C-alpha cells in the first residue's frame, strides 16, 4: 500500500511519495528545454537568444503562480493537519480565483507592449522579431501556464501526486510532438515553439480544473469565502519561491546583458544551454522539495516534532548525495550537450563548453539550498524562506556578476552562479543552527 500524506514515512517512502511531483516539475521544464532544442537546431542561434531574452518576462508571471501554489499549499495542508478541512477547501478555492484573475489581467495588458518589453529586456534589432513573436503568444495564453503551476503544487496536498505525474507527462509529450510538427515540419519558427508550449500547458490546467471540481475526497473546490489570512499566508509563506523565480528571471536579464557586452549573441545562446540544463536538474530538486512540503506542514501542524527531525536530516543526506551524482553526470556530458545544442556552430560551441565547465559546480549546492527554502516555507516561516531564496537567486548572483566580471570578464559571469550557491548554503546552515531550538526539527 502506498503511503498517504497523513502517514509517517521512511526515506524511501518519502522519495516514492515525492517522485510523481519530481517528474511533473521536470516536465514543466521540458517545455522550455524542448522549445530551445528545436529552435536552436531548426531556426538558429539568434532565435535561441531571442527566446532566452523573452522568457524571463513570462517567468515573472509564473513566479506569482509559484508563490500562491507553494504558499497556499503549505497553508491549506497546515489547516487540514489541524482538522479544519472545510476551511482549507474554501481557502484553496479563494486563492485559485484570485490568481486566475491576476494572470488574465496581466497577460492581456502586457500583450499590447510586447516590443517595448523585449527592447527593455535587451533585445537588439536582430533579436527583436524572435523575442516579440515568442513572448506575445506566451503572454496571451499565460493563464494556462499559471493554472498548470498552481495545480501541480496542490496535487500533493490533495494526496494525488500521481495524477500530477500523468497530466504533466501528457502535456510534455504533446509539447514535444507539436514542436516537431510546428517547427521542423511546417516551419512556423519561434511562434511554433510558443504555440506548442501553451498546448502542453493546457493539459495539466484542464485536468486540474476537472479534478478539483469533481473530486470529493481530501481537497476540492467549494464556494470560496474571501479570507485575508489565507491570502496573506499564501503570499508571505510562498514569497520565497516567488522571490526565487523572480530573481532567476531578473538575473537572466542582467546576465544576458553582460554576455552581450563581452561575447555578443553567442554568449547569450551559450548561457541559454546552461540554463536549460539547470532547469532540468533544479526541477528535480524543486519537485522533491515541494512534493514533501505538504507532508512536513501537515505533521508540523499535528505537533510531531521528533518524527520531523529525523525526516529533515534524512532529506538533507539524500539531497547531498544526489547533488554529487548530478555534478558528475553533468561534467561527463558537457561536450555532447554543447554539440547537441549548437552542432557545428564553432564559436558558440567553444563558448558553451568553456562556460558549462564552470557552471557545473553550482549543482553541488543547489539541492540543499532549494530544500532549505522549501523547508522554512513548510514550517510557516516565509521571511526566512524568502531571505534564503533572495540571497541565493538574486543578491549573491548580482554581486558576483558585477564584481567578478569587472576583474575576470566573461569568466566572472560564468563564476557568478556557482559562487552564489556556495554562499547561500552557508546562510542556510547559519539559520539551521540559530533556529534549532525554536522549531525542534532542524
| Secondary structure of residue 155 in the 3-state scheme | coil
Q: Kindly state the cell numbers that stand for 168.
A: 504533466
The answer to the question of residue 111 being in a domain is yes
Kindly provide the b/e burial profile for residues 402-431, where b requires at least 16 CB atoms within 10 angstroms of the residue's own CB. eebbeeeebebbbbbbbbbbbbbbebbeeb
Q: Is pTM beyond 0.85 here?
A: no
pLDDT tens digits, one per residue of 267-281: 888 888 888 788 788
At 199 the pLDDT is 93
Non-local (6+) Cβ contacts of 11 within 8 A are: 311, 314, 315, 318
CA distance 199 to 176: 10
Percent of the chain with pLDDT over 70: 93
Q: Kindly state the cell numbers that stand for 222.
A: 467549494
Q: Can you tell me the mean pLDDT for 405-429?
A: 90
The answer to the question of residue 285 being in a domain is yes
Kindly provide the b/e burial profile for residues 225-246, where b requires at least 16 CB atoms within 10 angstroms of the residue's own CB. eebeebbebbbbbbbbbbbbbb
Closest CA to 52 of 3, 118, 115: 118
The answer to the question of residue 4 being in a domain is no
pLDDT tens digits, one per residue of 48-78: 888 878 877 887 888 888 888 888 888 888 8
Contacts of residues 266-269 at CB distance under 8 Å and 24 or more positions apart, as own/partner, are 266/45, 266/347, 266/348, 266/351, 267/351, 267/410, 267/413, 268/49, 268/52, 268/53, 269/40, 269/45, 269/46, 269/48, 269/49, 269/52, 269/342, 269/348, 269/351, 269/352
The answer to the question of residue 149 being in a domain is yes
Q: Domain containing 285: what range?
A: 11-439
Estimate to the nearest angstrom the gap between the alpha carbon of 357 and the chain centroid: 23
At 419 the pLDDT is 94
- 422 pLDDT band, cuts 50/70/90, is very high
The answer to the question of residue 284 being in a domain is yes
The count of structural domains within the chain is: 1
CA distance 393 to 135: 23
The answer to the question of residue 104 being in a domain is yes
- 5 pLDDT band, cuts 50/70/90, is low
- Evaluate if residue 434 carries a pLDDT over 60: yes
DSSP 112: G
- Evaluate if residue 356 carries a pLDDT over 80: yes
Count CB neighbours of 126 within 10 A. Answer: 11
Estimate to the nearest angstrom the gap between the alpha carbon of 181 and the chain centroid: 27
CA distance 133 to 190: 7
Q: Kindly state the cell numbers that stand for 433.
A: 543552527
> Which of 251-255, 287-291, 315-319 is predicted most confidently?
315-319
Closest CA to 421 of 381, 377, 365: 365
Q: Which residue has the higher pLDDT, 308 or 180?
A: 180
Q: Which residue has the higher pLDDT, 14 or 206?
A: 206
The answer to the question of residue 3 being in a domain is no
The answer to the question of residue 1 being in a domain is no
Amino acid at each position: 500500500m502506498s503511503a498517504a500524506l497523513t502517514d509517517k514515512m521512511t526515506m524511501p517512502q518519502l522519495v516514492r511519495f515525492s517522485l510523481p511531483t519530481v517528474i511533473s516539475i521536470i516536465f514543466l521544464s521540458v517545455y522550455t528545454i524542448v522549445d530551445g532544442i528545436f529552435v536552436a537546431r531548426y531556426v538558429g542561434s539568434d532565435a535561441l537568444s531571442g527566446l532566452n531574452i523573452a522568457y524571463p518576462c513570462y517567468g515573472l508571471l509564473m513566479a506569482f503562480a509559484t508563490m500562491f501554489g507553494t504558499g497556499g499549499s503549505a497553508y491549506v495542508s497546515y489547516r487540514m493537519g489541524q482538522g479544519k478541512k472545510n476551511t482549507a477547501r474554501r481557502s484553496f478555492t479563494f486563492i485559485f480565483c484570485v490568481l486566475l484573475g491576476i494572470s488574465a489581467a496581466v497577460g492581456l495588458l502586457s500583450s499590447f507592449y510586447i516590443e517595448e518589453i523585449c527592447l527593455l529586456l535587451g533585445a537588439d534589432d536582430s533579436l527583436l522579431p524572435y523575442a516579440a513573436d515568442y513572448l506575445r503568444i506566451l503572454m496571451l495564453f499565460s493563464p494556462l501556464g499559471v493554472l498548470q503551476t498552481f495545480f501541480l503544487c496542490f496535487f500533493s496536498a490533495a494526496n494525488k501526486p500521481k495524477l500530477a505525474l500523468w497530466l504533466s507527462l501528457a502535456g510534455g509529450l504533446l509539447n514535444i510532438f507539436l514542436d516537431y510538427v510546428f517547427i521542423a515540419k511546417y516551419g512556423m519558427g519561434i511562434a511554433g515553439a510558443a504555440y506548442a508550449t501553451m498546448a502542453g500547458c493546457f493539459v495539466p490546467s484542464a485536468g486540474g480544473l476537472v479534478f478539483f471540481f469533481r473530486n470529493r475526497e481530501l481537497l476540492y473546490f467549494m464556494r470560496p469565502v474571501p479570507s485575508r489570512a489565507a491570502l496573506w499566508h499564501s503570499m508571505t509563506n510562498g514569497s520565497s519561491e516567488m522571490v526565487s523565480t523572480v530573481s532567476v528571471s531578473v538575473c537572466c536579464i542582467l546576465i544576458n546583458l553582460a554576455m552581450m557586452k563581452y561575447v555578443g549573441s553567442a554568449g547569450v545562446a551559450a548561457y541559454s544551454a546552461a540554463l536549460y540544463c539547470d532547469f532540468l536538474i533544479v526541477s528535480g530538486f524543486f519537485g522533491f522539495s515541494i512534493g514533501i512540503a505538504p507532508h512536513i506542514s501537515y505533521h508540523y501542524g499535528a505537533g510531531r516534532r521528533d518524527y520531523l527531525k529525523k525526516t529533515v536530516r534524512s532529506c538533507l543526506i539524500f539531497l547531498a548525495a544526489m547533488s554529487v551524482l548530478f555534478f558528475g553526470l553533468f561534467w561527463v556530458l558537457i561536450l555532447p550537450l554543447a554539440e547537441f545544442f549548437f552542432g557545428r556552430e564553432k564559436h558558440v560551441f567553444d563558448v558553451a563548453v568553456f562556460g558549462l565547465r564552470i557552471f557545473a559546480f553550482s549543482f553541488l549546492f543547489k539541492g540543499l539550498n532549494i530544500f532549505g527554502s522549501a523547508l522554512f516555507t513548510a514550517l510557516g516561516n516565509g521571511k526566512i524562506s524568502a531571505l534564503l531564496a533572495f540571497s541565493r537567486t538574486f543578491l549573491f548572483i548580482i554581486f558576483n556578476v558585477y564584481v567578478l566580471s569587472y576583474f575576470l570578464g566573461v569568466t566572472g559571469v560564468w563564476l557568478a552562479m556557482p559562487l552564489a550557491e556556495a554562499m547561500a548554503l552557508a546562510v542556510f546552515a547559519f539559520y539551521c543552527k540559530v533556529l534549532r531550538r525554536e522549531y525542534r526539527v532542524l
